[in-house]
Chains A and B, each alone.
Chain A
């Protein structure tokens, strides 16, 4: 499949944003980081900027972006539509959370106190968390339900999307915490390392699956003949590449994909994991370690997502 940059950016940025929002919401529920409303508000803004940047990027993939609102209508059957619906609804608790924290910072802003939602902080946090996770699950399901693409039609596709979203949100959350001078608890750091390496293992399992996956459909099946009939291309249907070949027939050389997988394994999972361990051993390097983890993670995520598309083969290529 053609790795469209707009979709790669969307899934990586919005994924991280929703992950951060999910953690922020969760911490509001359990009352973990009621450190300062200013920090909470900053994190919320970062999450919303990431989410919004990703969503805007995704609309540039559309032929008619001005009609994007129509995509909210078919949630009964379409995962893409469900994703859109959840993405929009998620803004409601997120913005209300922001209002609560702004009110806490400057109680003089009477306008906001009218809402009096402070006492429902846990409801807002919980809703933000659940809706963020629901949005990412929908993103995964768009791919995981396409029977035409065996590399995506797989049990782990959605869990990996979700885990990577939470992991990237978690690493950004830790980074922002250390940016504001808070020392991260060792258990929290170890939790981050655990999630990163769990994601690495799942990704390895996924790549093994991709190498073994098969269309289950032969060239003969594609044109209706008995499965074992030998079918060879004789005359092409058209002389230059068409939309199908560009969009669905994208091929990445095996040697390149092996190298890129190794690169993604290091940058996305191993280096950030090592950085977090370094933070544990040398707390004075917490900020620099965490920053390196964030940068490395995003380089890795972009590579991982590019591979997710480039390595996926579409069954329509059987005709070509």
Chain B
């Protein structure tokens, strides 16, 4: 049914930490591996070893340089289905092959009833759905629904393949509806970001922003200490009234916060 559930008991999703993602594409390949084997229909590939390799992936990692006017840095950005609360990819589906599960909020495609009209991929702003030319149907992230409830697997393995594969633990899996869950607490604490919020698809997945760069902070603190020890602040009184006070607070802040690290 393409009618959306009015609420879901759980909101399972991923919390991706952009601060520690190193862009290794490990999640991309482990996703491809898991979803191409086992009971699932494989994610088709074409010309894998030729000049124009092409294939279906449910997860892609983009590399960006971001500049907020103060500093610039590299961000590795993994992009996959965000399991939105109001996903229009589901409501536009003419066959009911696309659906959002009431119990856990996972958005899935039934491969047996999808007609491959591709309208869902048009409706998704995040590029989460890719068309499988070999099978003539749409593919998307299942949040490894065949892993997370799989009783054949050990408890610690009942997580999405991408989460298990991540060498830096930049990907966390959990229930965003539960305020006590690890993902909810971390997202709350570090200002978890939503993608294209203005479109109002209400994505469940969150992204943690990069932390303020430690090197810059330390550098400032060292300079401040060095300057005050040499009486630099005193000598240049006019500038120092404000700048000195600022750098003092930076130093103090750093001293106080560094104990917690």
Contact A142 B193 (CB under 8 A): no
**Given contact pairs A62-B117, A74-B94, A223 touches B126 in the complex (Cβ within 8 A):** no
The 8 A CB mask of A201-232 against B (1 = contact, 0 = none) is: 00000000000000011011111111001111
Contact A315 B136 (CB under 8 A): no
How many residues of chain B are within 8 Å of chain A by beta carbon?
67
Q: Is A61 an interface residue (CB 8 A)?
A: yes
Measured between beta carbons, the chain B residues less than 8 angstroms from A239 are 53
Q: Is B251 an interface residue (CB 8 A)?
A: no
Q: Is A148 an interface residue (CB 8 A)?
A: yes
Contact A62 B136 (CB under 8 A): yes
Measured between beta carbons, the chain A residues less than 8 angstroms from B131 are 63, 243, 247
CB distance from B55 to the nearest CB of A (A): 8
Please, how many angstroms separate the alpha-carbon atoms of A319 and B88 in the complex? 19
Measured between beta carbons, the chain B residues less than 8 angstroms from A319 are 62, 79, 126-127
Stretch of A75-83, A107-115, A169-177 at the chain-chain interface: A75-83
Q: Is B119 an interface residue (CB 8 A)?
A: yes
The 8 A CB mask of B12-55 against A (1 = contact, 0 = none) is: 00000010000100000000000000000000000000001111
Q: Is A38 an interface residue (CB 8 A)?
A: no
Total number of residue pairs linking A and B with CB closer than 8 Å: 193
Q: Is B57 an interface residue (CB 8 A)?
A: yes
Stretch of B172-180, B194-202, B238-246 at the chain-chain interface: B194-202
Measured between beta carbons, the chain A residues less than 8 angstroms from B1 are 74
Contact B62 A235 (CB under 8 A): yes
Contact A242 B67 (CB under 8 A): no
Q: Is B108 an interface residue (CB 8 A)?
A: no
Q: Is B5 an interface residue (CB 8 A)?
A: no
Please, how many angstroms separate the alpha-carbon atoms of A224 and B19 in the complex? 13
The 8 A CB mask of B170-214 against A (1 = contact, 0 = none) is: 000000000000000000000001111111000000010100000
The 8 A CB mask of A65-81 against B (1 = contact, 0 = none) is: 10110111110111111
CB distance from A167 to the nearest CB of B (A): 26
Q: Is A93 an interface residue (CB 8 A)?
A: no
Name B46's closest neighbour in chain A (CB-CB). A240
Please, how many angstroms separate the alpha-carbon atoms of A264 and B117 in the complex? 28
CB distance from A246 to the nearest CB of B (A): 9
CB distance from A260 to the nearest CB of B (A): 22
Contact B79 A237 (CB under 8 A): yes
Contact B195 A222 (CB under 8 A): yes
A residues 66-108 touching B (CB-CB < 8 Å): 67-68, 70-74, 76-81, 84
**Given contact pairs A222-B196, A223-B77, A243-B56, A248 touches B63 in the complex (Cβ within 8 A):** no
Measured between beta carbons, the chain A residues less than 8 angstroms from B137 are 63-64
Q: Is A244 an interface residue (CB 8 A)?
A: yes
**Given contact pairs A62-B136, A64-B114, A148-B122, A74 touches B194 in the complex (Cβ within 8 A):** no
Measured CB to CB, the residues of A under 8 A from B are 1, 61-65, 67-68, 70-74, 76-81, 84, 142, 145-149, 216-217, 219-226, 229-244, 247-248, 314-316, 319
- 28 A-B pairs in the complex with CB atoms less than 8 angstroms apart: A1-B122, A61-B117, A62-B117, A62-B136, A64-B114, A64-B115, A70-B115, A73-B94, A73-B96, A74-B2, A146-B92, A148-B123, A217-B199, A221-B195, A221-B197, A222-B195, A223-B207, A224-B193, A225-B68, A225-B193, A229-B67, A231-B64, A231-B67, A232-B65, A235-B62, A236-B63, A247-B118, A247-B121
| A-B interface, 5 closest residue pairs, ranked by CB to CB distance from nearest | A63-B116, A63-B136, A235-B63, A224-B193, A81-B94
Measured CB to CB, the residues of B under 8 A from A are 1-3, 18, 23, 52-57, 60-69, 72, 74-77, 79, 88, 90-97, 113-119, 121-127, 130-133, 135-138, 193-199, 207, 209
Given A74-B93, A232-B64: 9 more A-B contacts, CB < 8 Å: A77-B92, A78-B2, A79-B92, A80-B92, A80-B119, A230-B69, A230-B72, A235-B23, A242-B54
